[in-house]
Chains A and B, each alone.
Chain A
Amino acid sequence: MVSGDGGQLYTIEGFAAALIMIITAYLVVNATSVYTAGDTHINDMQLEALGTDALKMMDTPVSSDVPSPLAEIITYTPVGNMNATFKTMFMNYTNVSGAGPIHDIQFNATYICRKDPENSITIYPLASSRNLTGGEHTVRATKWVIVDKAVCEDSEKPRAVLVEVLLWRD
């Protein structure tokens, strides 16, 4: 061993530095895919467009002499009850087969109305394909629908309710 070798680099330090860099690079490369805000926005946008389209189609009658299916569902479903027709119809619209990828979409639908004198809102369940656990990454699709129903008020008269659907992929 030579004297006066303080501050010198040796093979072992070179190995150590190289190993640290390689391990760091390995960890970065193998880490969970890094999504930028732009990436998640695209996926959310696709789902949101689909949900909004589905609600729009459900609220569009096939001809001028029949009512809107969505308005009918809300009108004739007892307050607080789930509606199987909504579930079937919405699932058909969002999962209808096409040339694209398989659609594994789940949803939870509610409708919201405003109580006039109290100026408060009440949320009623409408349909659900699965219960929300809180861990899902959901997007929201909404549609104002005119219904003739005694909801939020005692009298039966046309009023606007906001149908809100939370959608997520499994």
Chain B
Amino acid sequence: MTDDSGVLSIDFIVGFTIFLIAFIWVVSLIPGLLINLQGFTIDYDAVAYRTGVILVEDPGWPQAPVSPWESKIDNDSVVRFGLAISSDTPNILSQEKVNRFFCTTATTAFPLPFIYRVDYKEKAIFGDYPYRFNISLRDVERNANQSIGDVLPEGYGYIRRLVKIKGGSNATIDGYNFKNTDNNVTSHTFSILINTPNLYTNMTDLFYQIDPARDQIMINITNLSKMNNNITLTGITVVGNSPASSLQYTLTGNTLSLDNQIKDNTNPLDKFPQHVNDTISIKFLPSYFRGDVYNGVLDEQYYQPIYINLSFKLGSNSTFLNNSWSYPFDYNYDPANVTQPQLRDAVVEVAVW
């Protein structure tokens, strides 16, 4: 052929086809490369970090003093989880908030436990993506682990935060040291003063503050049998801003234990009067002071001192635990009276995938 212009040769078709196949193959690689660069792990790490900050540095919402999220009976009214004791104390966690956050076991009493994943996603993880996650807290000192969520997969976004948990305070009162001198009576009263305004002003550092509205308080009275062998505890009244009321122990989560036996106010046999051999232990949850004793008080500056009065009736006249003619036992910052709140090391880990 002499004039071959405009004619495709077989060589050209073969070469162009090879080029085209290679070109299409390389182009098809590009989306894969971009997916790797975008990487979901980046997103997961960021979500884990955000969740870690919310849990460790924020007290949640609603927050104290009125009705913090950890005391809400209605789980739907909890807007946001947060374990810090206040927004001014990042990394210092409240034991009460930790207990409530990690409690998933069903109980007959309110408040009901939160439900994984729905509640935790709405109130701690946030976002529209259906994340799976695991949030754990390791109490280093007690060597105890608590966790919420699924079993960890191979790859996940992760953050670890070091924290301290604020423990409650407690007082052990040797009853024999507080007996009166009058041995001609059978009725005795012992008063304990929790002077909340003084507790707030004498220790402004929230880390170590004894705060009946935020932390658990425990009072143990021992050695009663040394003074009399027929003791009846006729009642316990607690006075704060609200009028004096009888202690409703187990109904509000508090515990009254006599000689190591826990009393349940819902049981008619466990109501006052109660026989006591040697010891009385009373555990007050912060929700009790906040909800009952300081009921309706919207500002902490209006909190009044709390008086806890224990009334006893003896089988025979004798000296006994009685400070009605002197001063009430002061639950204060004196280490001789009260074991002060302590901070324990813990680790919060958040994994998201």
Residues on A facing B (Cβ under 8 Å): 2-5, 8-15, 17-19, 21-22, 24-25, 28-29, 33-34, 36, 38-39, 42, 45-46, 49-50, 53-54, 56-57, 60-65, 93, 96, 98-101, 103
Contacts and interface: CB of A to CB of B under 8 A. Distances in A.
Contact of B26 (A25, A46, A49, A53): A25
Interface in B31-65: 33, 36-37, 39, 42, 45-46, 49, 52
A99 B161 contact: no
Given A9-B11, A9-B16, A99-B351, 11 more contacts: A8-B11, A10-B11, A22-B26, A29-B29, A29-B33, A38-B42, A42-B45, A57-B91, A65-B340, A98-B160, A98-B349
Contacts of B251: none
Contact of A39 (B26, B42, B340): B42
Contact of A21 (B2, B14, B23): B23
**Which of B91, B160, B207 has most chain A Cβ within 10 Å?**
B160
Given A21-B22, A53-B91, A2 B1 contact: yes
A10 B9 CA distance: 8
A49 B161 contact: yes
**Which of A54, A65, A96 has most chain B Cβ within 10 Å?**
A96
Nearest to A97: B138
B147 A13 contact: no
**Which of B21, B36, B134, B343 has most chain A Cβ within 10 Å?**
B343
Interface string B5-30: 10001011011111101110110010
A100 B341 contact: no
Contact of A50 (B33, B46, B160): B160
A21 B26 contact: yes
Interface residues of B, number: 61
Contact of B16 (A14, A39, A46, A53): A14
A5 B161 contact: no
A17 B12 CA distance: 13
A141 to B, nearest CB: 11
Given A57-B162, A96-B140, A99-B134, A63 B14 contact: no
Chain A binding site: helix, strand, loop or mixed by DSSP? helix
Contacts of A45: 49
B164 interface: yes
Contacts of B42: 38-39, 42
A4 B5 contact: yes
Contact of B21 (A13, A18, A33, A42): A18
Contact of A63 (B49, B91, B341): B341
A58 to B, nearest CB: 9
Given A34-B37, A36-B37, A49-B49, A9 B160 contact: no
B340 A64 contact: yes
B162 A14 contact: no
Given A22-B25, A57-B345, A14 B15 contact: yes
Contacts of B37: 34, 36
A60 B39 CA distance: 38
A118 to B, nearest CB: 35
A62 B343 contact: yes
